[in-house]
Amino acid sequence: MRTPSPYGAEVAVESPSDRAPLGVEVDLFCALGLIEAAVTSIDRLQTWKEAVEPQAIRLIDQIKTEQAKWEAERSVLFKTLADHENQIAMLKRSLEVALFEKHVALQLCFDMRSRSNLIEQQPSSHGENTLIRHDDHTDLVATAGSHLYIE
């Protein structure tokens, strides 16, 4: 059966038994309009993709380049940090050694003064030289007249 269409053409009307299996009846012109709109949308999306995709790829490449630079700088900073930590540890050890040596030197000085005071209080009877302190580098000697000299 044919009926006039609002678009000026006659359209064959199907009987209810000829309809789509889901029971949806679609106007041919509406379907063509939807298809045309979909094609237009696809074309616009393709144009947009062609315009945006190269920019996106450039941005991704720039990000990767920057990331590589940051990783290199980070590696240098961590190496520098490790070097500084090693220097701090060596300086700390050097300071500990210096403080120990200072303590030993002060103790040695105190011991020498104590021995010198003892010698001054008990002079040698025969004018002999008295050895107060001996190490690898110097000898501290007291003479009978209570004079100290270094040999």
In 3D space, the residue among 8, 42, 12 whose CA is nearest the CA of residue 27 turns out to be: 12
Going by the DSSP 8-state scheme, the letter that residue 24 receives in this structure is -
Reported as a pLDDT band with limits 50, 70 and 90, residue 140 is low
- Give yes or no for residue 86 having a pLDDT over 70: yes
pLDDT of residue 5: 52
Helix (H) or strand (E) holding 142: strand 139-142
3-class secondary-structure state, position 33:
helix
Radius of gyration of the chain (CA): 52
Reported as a pLDDT band with limits 50, 70 and 90, residue 138 is low
Decide which of 143 and 74 is more confident. Answer: 74
Each domain of the chain, given as residue ranges in start order, spans 26-150
Chain segment 16-72, per-residue pLDDT in tens: 555 555 555 667 878 888 899 999 999 999 999 999 999 999 999 999 999 999 999
Chain segment 89-119, per-residue pLDDT in tens: 999 999 999 999 999 999 999 999 998 888 8
The dihedrals phi and psi of 40, each to the nearest 5 degrees, come to -60, -45
pLDDT of residue 54: 93
pLDDT of residue 97: 96
Give yes or no for a contact between 147 and 126, defined as CB atoms under 8 angstroms apart.
Answer: no
Residue that is written with structure tokens 């110097």 in the block:
138
Q: Which two tokens stand for residue 118?
A: 């003892």
DSSP string, 74-133: HHHHHHHHHHHHHHHHHHHHHHHHHHHHHHHHHHHHHHHHHHHHHHHHS--TT---EEEE
